[in-house]
Chain A
């Protein structure tokens, strides 16, 4: 194991080198570019044995990865923002075809107005595309997920593509000291990809056929069951990962100081770091506050969220997303989880950080202060909407 000073993009590239995909196809887009630049350098210097395919667009990047996966290769691609949206057509081909491709998405706002900075509207707008979606907090988690994502996606009963999301710039371009495991350790963790879902001259198969109304829904049901199986696969992957690398992750969510908390802030991605610090500061003042970080948006942690929020007085969701005309999508999903569990906790929805707008520790403190009223609110952080419940 080596300790290196790496950006989020570089850490992820190291993780992908250790996972050893046979095919990498990608098209550059800020703030994702560095991850594929590093990977192309690794291929050139020989530290990664892979076909690195330059393509002419993101649509081709994912199509190419699907083609590679369809001959049984481990495939990787990466994108961001408009690039991810341009890939949207291919996302469902990958998930419906049950190809366990891993993609890194650098979360970035979507046009217009044109903007290269971070928010999570790109990936969250594609929650229904059938991909596993994970949101990481720091460079170490990014590297570790590059390895774990393949383990989870390639489990036979899962066979679902995996999107790992890193906040653009805030995580992709900031540097942290990161443990980089040895290749032998990575190989011990991650077995080679074996599948029958491939073009193989010795066992000829039809791939990607059409299915009419009679059976189409059954295929969609199987796809749904596959991504649900990822819950168990996440648990198994993290247990195995802890045994080999000594780092223990916490499953679909991470609860921080929530055991006796009265007020909990739910969020995802790199902003969780600042919320954690704010929680510590408020705890020193005797405030009973906690953080619930959602790590996986798909499969969605309904049960885990209900368990943490069962005894709190109020909670809020802070997300870098808005479903225009309604509310934040994470907020909708959290409310659904609580409703199904019969938990009447008032939850407020805060939209923040769109287009890279800063979220300050004081604003997070303000959310915890607002929660004491135990009233539901939805608002754009720092802009308005306070008290309006449409």
Chain B
């Protein structure tokens, strides 16, 4: 994950590329609008095995300072991580 990616949301026409091409790692839009529930990792239960990272079809699970985290800008809320976690460390919370 590259946190700087979302620090550069374009606001003017000049900030957008002319073609649908930009430097690697930069995305013009977030993509999570249709998520109805979000996975939440309980850090005290999580063993850091990263099985959820292996199964996540969107590649939005990452490690940050030894903790497992989820990039909610791109998580679609499919719940595969919750189902695959053998320690029950991930719960789905309804989006409000």
Contacts and interface: CB of A to CB of B under 8 A. Distances in A.
Given A196-B21, A206-B27, A209-B20, 20 more contacts: A98-B18, A99-B19, A159-B18, A159-B19, A197-B19, A197-B21, A206-B23, A206-B25, A206-B26, A207-B21, A208-B20, A209-B21, A211-B20, A212-B29, A212-B31, A214-B29, A215-B16, A215-B29, A219-B20, A222-B16
A199 to B, nearest CB: 9
- Per DSSP, chain B at the interface is loop
Contact of B24 (A96, A204, A215, A219): A204
Given A209-B27, A209-B28, A214-B29, A219 B22 contact: no
Contacts of B10: 215
Contacts of B24: 204-206
A98 B16 CA distance: 14
B21 A206 contact: yes
Q: Which of A97, A196, A215 has the most CB of B within 10 A?
A: A215
Interface string A208-235: 1111101100110110001000000000
Interface residues of A, number: 25
20 contacts: A159-B18, A159-B19, A196-B21, A198-B21, A203-B23, A204-B25, A205-B21, A206-B23, A206-B27, A207-B20, A208-B20, A209-B21, A212-B28, A212-B29, A212-B30, A214-B29, A215-B16, A218-B13, A222-B18, A226-B18
Contacts of B25: 204, 206
Q: Which 4 A-B pairs have the closest CB atoms?
A: A204-B24, A98-B19, A212-B29, A197-B19
Interface string A138-181: 00000000000000000000010000000000000000000000
Interface string B1-43: 0000000001001001011111111111111010000000000
- Per DSSP, chain A at the interface is loop
B47 to A, nearest CB: 34
Given A212-B29, A214-B29, A204 B20 contact: no
Contacts of A205: 21-24
B13 A211 contact: no
Interface in A180-203: 196-198, 203
A221 B13 contact: yes
Contacts of A210: 29, 31
Nearest to B22: A206
Q: Which of B18, B21, B27, B30 has the most CB of A within 10 A?
A: B21
Contacts of A209: 20-22, 27-28
Interface in B38-86: none
A150 B23 CA distance: 26
A215 B30 CA distance: 11
Q: Which of B20, B24, B25, B30 has the most CB of A within 10 A?
A: B20
Nearest to A208: B20
B20 A96 contact: yes
Contacts of B19: 97-99, 159, 197, 207
Contacts of B16: 215, 218-219, 222
A356 to B, nearest CB: 39
Nearest to A195: B19
B63 to A, nearest CB: 23
A177 B30 CA distance: 58
B6 to A, nearest CB: 13
A219 B22 CA distance: 13
A130 B27 CA distance: 24
A219 B31 CA distance: 18
Nearest to A222: B18
A237 to B, nearest CB: 20
A196 B19 CA distance: 10
A97 B13 contact: no
